[in-house]
Amino acid sequence: MLKNKILILASAVSGLSILPITLFSSSCDKTSEKDKELLKSFDFQQQKNGNYVISKYKGNEENVNIPSEFKGKKVDAIGAQVFANNIIVKSIILPESIKEIGASAFLNSILDKITLNEGLATMGESAFEGTEIADITTTKFIRTNWK
């Protein structure tokens, strides 16, 4: 009987000792289900300021909503040539977190509609060259880096 009590106590103690390891390992995985879904359509690169830039579009949607956050940080830029030569995306909505659109971001794509929100400050050279844009919605003046 004493052996049974010791075995039960030892089992309980060893079970509790595993708990912090389990909690630690689950808290280290910062990729939420939402972020995992975003990774199906986008590649992200973290910038020095901690925010993210979209570096590649891998999706197949005609209408794309650019995310405002990834891993709890702002997505504040669309990188160079992310949608260049894309023959699927027709419409894009940018969140207010997007401050910059990289050079040739939409070059020679079939994009025909884009919504540029208040946060956008700069657009790189040839950002929309060769597109079929017929509808641009914007809420303010935007600086360009065009030469």
Report the C-alpha gap between 95 and 142 in whole angstroms.
15
Q: What is the CA radius of gyration of the chain?
A: 23
CB 70 within 8 A of CB 92: no
Percent with pLDDT over 90 in the chain: 61
Report the C-alpha gap between 127 and 111 in whole angstroms.
11
Query: Would you call 48 helix, strand, or coil by DSSP?
Result: coil
- Domain containing 127 equals 32-144
User: Side chain identity at 79, as an amino acid letter?
Assistant: G
For residue 126, the domain's CATH number is 3.80.10.10
| Number of domain units in the chain | 2
Q: 50 and 7, same structural domain?
A: no
Does the predicted model carry a pTM greater than 0.85?
no
Q: What is the pLDDT of residues 39-89, one digit of tens each?
A: 999 999 999 999 999 999 999 999 999 999 999 999 999 999 999 999 999
Q: What is the pLDDT of residues 6-24, one digit of tens each?
A: 555 555 555 555 545 444 4
User: Side chain identity at 40, as an amino acid letter?
Assistant: K
Q: 134 and 120, same structural domain?
A: yes
Report the C-alpha gap between 50 and 10 in whole angstroms.
45
